[in-house]
Amino acid sequence: MPRCLCGCVPSLVRRGLLATGLAAAAFPARAQISADPALVDDIVTANRILYDQGVVDGFGHISARHDKDPGRYLLSRSMAPALVTAGDIMEFDLDSNPIDARGRAPYLERFIHGALYEARPDVNSVVHSHAEETLAFGITGTPLPPVIHLARAIGPTVPVWDIAEKFGDNTDLLVTNAEHGRDLAARLGQASVALMRGHGFAAVGAAIPDVVRLSVYLPVNARVLTTAMRFGEFKALAPGELSGRSGFDPGSASYWRAWEYWARRAGVGERLGEMP
């Protein structure tokens, strides 16, 4: 939400304007959830980061797999990512049924998350975004290979999922049931990100910072590629450049440096908790 570091979120809370402030009162916070409170905090931080980095606006979401029960995941109730606080994080089973809704309305498209956790045991965090830079690729089928090292997590191929292929031309393009979600998961296969035609993308990662980084640099990669295609022949990252350990891998100073920077830019002061 903050565009600068001038304490935006705190000032809003101070002015009593935020529904989330009210929500925190109405819905007792993370203590009521069986997941690690640090994981809940990380999801909140990730929401703020994705907003501050322009990956989500009023729409889009990020979830994490439950740290104690791989058959569940954690996701905010239906609200803009910039406004999410710990008390807004809900728990779902992999069919995307809320465990203890307490009146909170879930995202209509939570099925994206449930289906991807179900299909991919290696995945612990999922992002859904409408990031504008990727949309032209999705509606034209233009390949979107990684061409910059910060986007190596894109992997060798980015499949495009078109809801119309299986569900016809009369949908509103939204992933509103488990069938939609599973069809998307099938198209994703073992890839890291799938474009959703006319809609956005779904990305997965082994941990929250991985999928956040992928979501931040996927649009950058798309912009660079869009320009490079105009110039003519371009060199994408080689297969060997996509694999193997990197100075940007978990545990490296660079890995934490980016997260710390993003969190502070977004006005969130808390440290990243331990990831599952």
Our answer to whether residue 109 is catalytic in this structure is: yes
Q: For residue 135, which amino acid is it? A: L
Cβ–Cβ under 8 Å, residues 1 and 52: yes
How many whole angstroms separate alpha carbon 219 and alpha carbon 129? 11
Q: Does 157 bind a second copy (CB under 8 A)?
A: no
From 91, 109, 233, 260, active-site residue: 109
**Which one of the spans 40-48, 86-94, 162-170, 185-193 is the region binding a second copy (CB under 8 A)?**
162-170
Q: Does 251 bind a second copy (CB under 8 A)?
A: no
Q: Does 260 bind a second copy (CB under 8 A)?
A: yes
Please identify, using beta-carbon distances, which residue of 35 and 46 lies nearer to a second copy. Answer: 46
Residues between 202 and 231 that touch a second copy (CB under 8 A): 220, 223-231
Work out the number of other CB atoms within 10 angstroms of the CB of residue 78. Answer: 15
How many whole angstroms separate alpha carbon 6 and alpha carbon 47? 18
Applying CB under 8 A, among 68, 102, 257, 274 the residue interacting with a second copy is 257
Q: Does 103 bind a second copy (CB under 8 A)?
A: no
How many whole angstroms separate alpha carbon 56 and alpha carbon 46? 11
Cβ–Cβ under 8 Å, residues 273 and 36: yes
Residues between 49 and 68 that touch a second copy (CB under 8 A): 57-59
Cβ–Cβ under 8 Å, residues 274 and 251: no
Please identify, using beta-carbon distances, which residue of 1 and 99 lies nearer to a second copy. Answer: 1
Q: Give me the active site residues, please.
A: 109
